[in-house]
Amino acid sequence: MPRPSARVSAAALSIGEQFVAWRKLQRLTAVQVSERAGISRTTLRRVETGDTGVGVQAFLSVARALCVLDAMVTATDPYETDLGRARADETLPKRVRQ
């Protein structure tokens, strides 16, 4: 598996730290969050320390357990941005070439 870029690693670390802050603000223990998320305590630790090798399901399960999943989904909705709203009436291509 290729190493993530420095920017991706920094983002993962920042999100992990924010998850820790959310957990502490809600006065939840790591055990409680891992149980609610349906993951091991070790996997939660990997999410909270910014390990980019953690699967998307585990990551999103932690977000759900911390009640921030909906906010994350909204944050990635293109139609919640100025650009998305400006182009909302345009037909998007079915497939975008990379």
Contacts of 83 (CB under 8 A, 6+ apart): none
Give the H or E element holding residue 83.
Answer: helix 82-86
Q: pTM for the whole thing?
A: 0.84
**At 11, is the secondary structure helix, strand, or coil?**
helix
Q: Compute the distance between CA of residue 44 and CA of residue 20 in angstroms, rounded to an integer.
A: 10
Q: How does pLDDT run across 2-21, given as a tens digit for each residue?
A: 788 999 999 999 999 999 99
Q: What is the pLDDT of residues 25-34, one digit of tens each?
A: 999 999 999 9
Which amino acid is present at 88? Answer: A
Which residues, in sequence order, are CB contacts of 57 under 8 Å at separation 6+?
none
Classified by CATH at the fold level, domain 6-85 comes out as 434 Repressor (Amino-terminal Domain) (1.10.260)
